[in-house]
Amino acid sequence: MKKVLVVVDMQKDFIDGALGTKEAVGIVEKAAKEIALFEGRIFVTMDTHHEDYLNTAEGRKLPVPHCIQMTDGWRINDKIQAALSGKDYQVLEKGTFGSRELVEEVRKIGAQADMEIECFGLCTDICVVSNVLLLKANFPETKIKVKADCCAGVTPESHEAALKTMEMCQIDVTR
């Protein structure tokens, strides 16, 4: 069985920066521990914007500059980065909520029935759900799991709504 872990946007701006929340800060230790214990291929997505962010469609709807490439807030949280040390991982920068590149990289791994994908990260209600549903649409026979206690949303209510949405789409959500 091939095991894949997708760590979504565990970046400083989403944890304790421009869009950080106490819930996001609260999952870092658990997420780092899960990464450290994981044996298999890891993909790490990074929300990546540029100086013109406020002029983009997303920036006009969410006018809070965040994850601007090469800024401190764009970087992966130090504890998460330390947990990745020595692991087989690949960073995938993405300019939008879901990563088509993630789908293509997972496809390269092989047969979907012989694979299990586990996902967690930030924000449950935007980027986690977007990536999980892209994976489910492209790998319908693959077991996909989300670790709820390693995710945090924009609000606790929207986090729960996203988990419920994923469950309705036949994703295994572990609480």
Q: Which tens digit of pLDDT belongs to each residue from 4-30?
A: 999 999 999 999 999 999 999 999 999
Instruction: Tell me the HSE value of 108 on the side-chain side, using a 13 A CA sphere.
Output: 7
**What does the domain layout of the chain look like in residue ranges?**
2-174
* Chain mean position to CA 32: 13
Average pLDDT over residues 137-160: 97
Q: What percent of the chain has pLDDT over 90?
A: 96
Provide the pLDDT for residue 110. Answer: 81
Decide if pLDDT at 113 tops 90: no
Q: What is the pLDDT of residues 50-73, one digit of tens each?
A: 999 999 999 999 999 999 999 999
Write out 109-160 in H/E/C secondary structure.
HCCHHHEEEEEEEECHHHHHHHHHHHHHHHCCCCEEEEEEEEEECCCHHHHH
CATH code of the domain made up of 2-174? 3.40.50.850
Per-residue model confidence (pLDDT) at position 109? 92
Q: What pLDDT sits at residue 147?
A: 98
Task: Give the full edge-to-edge strand order of the sheet including 41-47.
Answer: 89-94, 41-47, 2-8, 115-122, 143-152, 172-174
Q: How many helices (H) and strands (E) does the chain have?
A: 7, 6
- pTM for the model stands at 0.97
* pLDDT tier for residue 83 given thresholds of 50, 70 and 90: very high
Per-residue pLDDT for 111 more than 80?
no
| Residue 112: pLDDT over 80 | no
Q: Mean of the pLDDT values across residues 147-172?
A: 98
pLDDT band at 163 (very low <50, low <70, confident <90, very high): very high
